[in-house]
Amino acid sequence: MRQELAVTNGQAAGVRGALAGNLRRTRLTRGLSVRELAELTGVSKALISQIERGVANPTIEVLTRLAGALELTFAELTRTHLAAPEVLRRGEGMPMAVGDTTVRSLFAAADRRRFELAEGDLPPMTRSAKSAHGHGSVEHAYVVSGEVTVESDTWSVRLGEGDAVRFGAEVDHVYATGERGCRVLTLISYD
């Protein structure tokens, strides 16, 4: 199943605004004028000025040249910053059924930062789908209520209410419940 990523006008404006601020702040910190940055990158002064005002949609090639000249990674140049707290209320979010398990993504970071936070509800006598999250990923799980066993091909850990575990999530693993269901919070960090 292919999942589409929808980018709203507000999200695009947020990225343009972050790019504008990051570019201008870094250029000034490095003591460069717009003209000097244009000479270093081959990007026109007009385009750099438009990017810094948040009105241009530069290509990846232009952003890569600017980042290189400013000794930034592409991610550092385009990183958005939270200006205010982001609140997700009970019942909000996008619950997704995966077999008998319901997972509600809390802060999966649409901008794909370096983590995903989710809440999972597993009914009694359930095994989640096998999952692995890629090279260098680490999964943290906290049992809010109930009991669950987290299993891989080489280990198994039984957890009760208030227990937590951390493990390398690059291997296939499952969450399995017994007579009682479970509510678990998971945080997956990516390399």
Under a CB-based contact definition with an 8 Å cutoff, are residues 183 and 121 in contact?
yes
Same domain, 124 and 185: yes
Same domain, 67 and 126: no
Read off the CATH number of the domain in which 115 is found: 2.60.120.10
Q: Does 88 map to a domain? A: no
What are 97-124's pLDDT values in tens digits?
A: 777 777 777 765 544 457 788 889 999 9
What are 26-46's pLDDT values in tens digits?
A: 999 889 999 999 999 999 999
Strand, coil or helix: what is 42? Answer: coil
This prediction has a pTM of 0.55
Q: Does 36 map to a domain? A: yes
